[in-house]
Amino acid sequence: MPQPFTWDSNLAWDTPGITWDGFAAPTPNPHTTMPNDNRVSATVSPTDKTAIMTKLAEIKALLPFLLNLTKDERVQLPKLGPASLSFDEHCAGYMATTPNLIPPFVDAAEVTKDRNLRLILADLLREAHKLCEVLDDTLLLVGSEIWMADLSFYQTVRQAARRDVPGADAIYDDLKERFPGVSGDDEEEPPSPPTP
């Protein structure tokens, strides 16, 4: 709505379009969306997606020994966690200097091989976690942007249906199924955005 002039208005004599007891035209807003509504605006071409999927497959192929554990195995296996790394370093040193104390059923060469592999896998996992984190965060944000747009559309359709805009009733009846138990009373507040 135009704002009325006051005695404190900053006016210059002969300003074009200004009249006494007139109204100032509202300043046009160059932004059609709020800044946080579209934090991700990107595309991935089918060619790039194929290239990425190929590279991921190549990475898996370079690690053919990777295994999937069951939930029970993950619980039951003894774990070399951060608190035990110092213990392992001491064991590695003692195994190297006193091989006569290594039990006959422990293959020292295999243990050394496992230690070297563990260091490499830990480095790879750290980098993979970084990639997974930004992928997951970006996926969450893109989904949030879609969800907010959907809710805005839903609210507009709901208002249009209440005002008997042609075609709005059918759309509203279809979309309101997402919010079971929410009434359509005029006094009702818009539903809180549920988690997608």
* Distance (Å, whole) CA 132 – CA 185: 44
Q: CA end-to-end span of the chain, whole Å?
A: 36
| pLDDT for residue 32 | 58
Angular region, 164: left φ>0, alpha ψ -120 to 50, beta rest: left
| pLDDT for residue 127 | 97
pLDDT in tens, 132-165: 999 999 999 999 999 999 999 999 999 999 999 9
Alpha-carbon torsion (30, 32, 37, 43), positive or negative: negative
Predicted TM-score of the model (pTM): 0.67
Q: Which parts of the chain have pLDDT scores under 70?
A: 1-36, 182-196
Q: Which of 82, 106, 77, 83 is nearest to 94 (CA)?
A: 106
| pLDDT for residue 22 | 52
